[in-house]
Structure 1
Amino acid sequence: MGRLPDLVRDSELETHFSPTCDVETVHTYHERSPNVRGKLVARRKHWQRLKKVGGGGFGSVWLENCTEPGQHEPKVRAVKQMEINRWSTRLDYNRELEAIAKFSQESEEHLFIAMEYLQLGDLHSYLQNNPKLPEIEVREVIFQVLDGLNLMHNNEFTHRDLKLNNILIKDGPPNNWWVKIADFGISKRGTPGYMAPELLGFTNRGIPCAVDIWAVGEITFQLLTKQPAFQNYGHLSTYVNDTSNFSYDPLHAIRTTELGIDFILSTMHPEPNQRISARDASNHEWMEQSLPLTIEQGFRYHNSGRETEEVQRAPSPNFG
């Protein structure tokens, strides 16, 4: 796999696997002794594999349970397992490891990445089983995604495969949205439907992080409409040649605000160097626009302590 970057190596855990890597993993930590000044003592933590909770072309994700968790330590975690020999010539593991900067260890045949387990799943699954999101909730989700991207881009990381499947839900309705970005830098090409025009050869390549911004626009469009912005590559090509051919109708059908549409267009400009940055997108006027809330959303925001103008403008119930 090559030399690990220092950021990754500093987060590497001393790890021992069961012979088949499918029963138990043991991590060894070295800590200062509370009784003897300066002395290091070894502490071991055992993780038991419970079940497979996901997977894809690059590996599988397993749920593990800590048999003796500490008082302030997680009881469960997700572990991504990838086959090194199968993908090592095509994937850059180090970029994801640098981004996560917390992983266990590699065995002779597999790479294991330990992650926080988010049992609510991802936005793709959520959208399949629920109605499309109200515009104010879409804005809340996208702001958090942009916040993460801004941090990544400022540190010269590009995700390269941002999509609904890679945005995990830590919390959601009836509480406020809390999402996290996953799968950093594993794919070098992207996923059809989220790929920017320059990745398909429709325009010249520009700044690398612009591909993430295009994906933000596609994600925003899908959260609002539950359909892709472009039905096929032919439709995308038509838009690249004439930007007036954007998919306005689905947005107008749900009465998306003009600022919301302008935000999407600013993230999905055909020319990568003319797309808005993650930082500027976070400061777009849409992020500050007053949007109507349902009664349920109004109570949710109010109870969370978010005293916003939208709460005050929440519509009154219609008792007929």
Structure 2
Amino acid sequence: MARLPDLVQDSKLETHFLPSGDGSVQTVHTYHEPDPTSRRQLVSRSEHWQRQGKIGGGSSASVWLEKCTKGGHGDVEVRAIKQIETHRHSGQMLDFSRELEAIAKFKYEGCFVKSFGWYESPEYLFIAMEYLELGDLHTYLDREPPLPEHEAKEVTYQILYGLYFMHNNGFAHRDLKPNNILLKSCPPNDWWIKIADFGISKRIDDGLGKSTTFKGTLGYIAPELHGFIEKGSPYAVDIWAVGEIAFQMLTKRPTFKHLGLLSVYVNNPETFPSNLLLAAQISQPGVEFIVSIMHPIPVDRITAGNALRHRWMDRSSSCHRGPAIAKQILRRRTGGICI
């Protein structure tokens, strides 16, 4: 791994693995903290974590639930651990420094899944994260009817909050989809979503911007990644994905059923399936919004900042704009854009 930025190095957890009597292995973190009885001395504290079971993952990464069994500090009793293979078929170790920097940078923002730090073994990289028991947006949408327009608008607004902050700090997500939108709260309570998986296992492969997000789910992949049109910025790829998420929240249908329809749209933008939105009784501002963030030409696609200011996002609507704590953080970080 390349030389790590100080922000990343500071978030690395001092870790060793302790075999248990039942054949399992506990993860032990050691923290060195100020002694409350002395200004000059440090005391050491250890936390022991035991795996409870696998809760998700893909071909190169898995997610596990862990429980603190000893030395807990604070109110975090369970956590999610993302375990990522650091060697691929080539045998070469991948460089995750950029992704770890994003995770460390965004961990205090209310619109991202919070990270508690990272650690490693010879074969794996581990990222400790808050566990959100309500699951992800994909699972929620699978079991529910289309969202009412005001709810879809609220979720879209919160996703754009996060993207605005990421893009302004030079980061693109590159793999935005409902599986990577986790739920802090949802109906009957207020919507509060958190963006997860900052492309940690769907990373840019080379300096030319070839993105492995091409391997993602059809529809969330922008047309430029399919080669239908010249590429623009990686930020425009994220914006396209927001449009697809919004479209599916409102209709329970993909915008384009197959690549042929997407190719036709790129060559003839008038073929955008607005009729599906109108059939779902979506307002004209809502239709205009989705069309603007799914523009076939990347450079003409609306930015996250401008999308937040679109008239569909008018704060006079019935949207709650998320819990107050998240709103305060985001207002500070986005320079008042949510006021």
Give the residue type in structure 2 aligned to 1:95: R
- Out of 80, 83, 108, the residue aligned to residue 81 of structure 1 is 83
Cα–Cα, structure 1 residues 289 and 178, in superposed 2: closer, same or farther, change >3 Å? closer
What's the secondary structure of 1:128's corresponding residue?
helix
What's the secondary structure of 1:86's corresponding residue?
coil
| Residue of structure 1 equivalent to 2:34 | 32
TM-score, length basis structure 2: 0.82
| Residue of structure 2 equivalent to 1:185 | 199
Distance in 2, Cα, partners of 1:165 & 1:5: 29
What's the secondary structure of 2:234's corresponding residue?
coil
What's the secondary structure of 1:49's corresponding residue?
strand
The reply on whether 1:95 has 2:121 as its aligned counterpart is no
Distance in 2, Cα, partners of 1:91 & 1:140: 37
- Out of 210, 216, 219, the residue aligned to residue 242 of structure 2 is 216
Cα–Cα, structure 1 residues 14 and 154, in superposed 2: closer, same or farther, change >3 Å? same
Distance in 1, Cα, partners of 2:182 & 2:168: 22
Distance in 1, Cα, partners of 2:44 & 2:73: 18
TM-score, length basis structure 1: 0.87
Q: Please list, as runs of the form range in 1=range in 2, the aligned pairs for 1:47-86 lying within 5 A after superposition.
A: 47-68=49-70, 70=72, 72-86=74-88
The reply on whether 1:114 has 2:108 as its aligned counterpart is no
Give the residue type in structure 2 aligned to 1:42: S
How far does the alpha carbon of each residue in 1:34-66 deviate from its partner, in whole angstroms, 9 at most, with x for none?
A: 112111111111111111111112311000111
| Residue of structure 2 equivalent to 1:132 | 146
Q: Please list, as runs of the form range in 1=range in 2, the aligned pairs for 1:263-274 lying within 5 A after superposition.
A: 263-274=289-300
Q: How many residues align?
A: 296
Give the residue type in structure 2 aligned to 1:119: E
Cα–Cα, structure 1 residues 259 and 92, in superposed 2: closer, same or farther, change >3 Å? farther
Moved more, 113-122 or 32-41: 32-41
Tell me the CA shift for residue 291 of structure 1.
5.7
Determine which structure has greater relative contact order: mean sequence separation of CA pairs < 8 Å that are 6+ residues apart, divided by chain length.
2
Tell me the CA shift for residue 89 of structure 1.
5.4
| Residue of structure 1 equivalent to 2:161 | 147
Tell me the CA shift for residue 288 of structure 1.
1.1
| Contact 2:67-2:79 at 8 Å conserved across structures | yes
| Contact 1:96-1:183 at 8 Å conserved across structures | no
Distance in 2, Cα, partners of 1:260 & 1:238: 23
What's the secondary structure of 1:50's corresponding residue?
strand
Q: Hey, which bits of structure 1, 4+ residues long, moved more than 6 A?
A: none
| Contact 1:14-1:104 at 8 Å conserved across structures | no
Give the residue type in structure 2 aligned to 1:192: T
Moved more, 101-110 or 220-229: 101-110
| Residue of structure 2 equivalent to 1:310 | none
Distance in 2, Cα, partners of 1:69 & 1:144: 35
Distance in 2, Cα, partners of 1:230 & 1:92: 35
CA RMSD of aligned residues (A): 2.2
Cα–Cα, structure 1 residues 105 and 292, in superposed 2: closer, same or farther, change >3 Å? closer
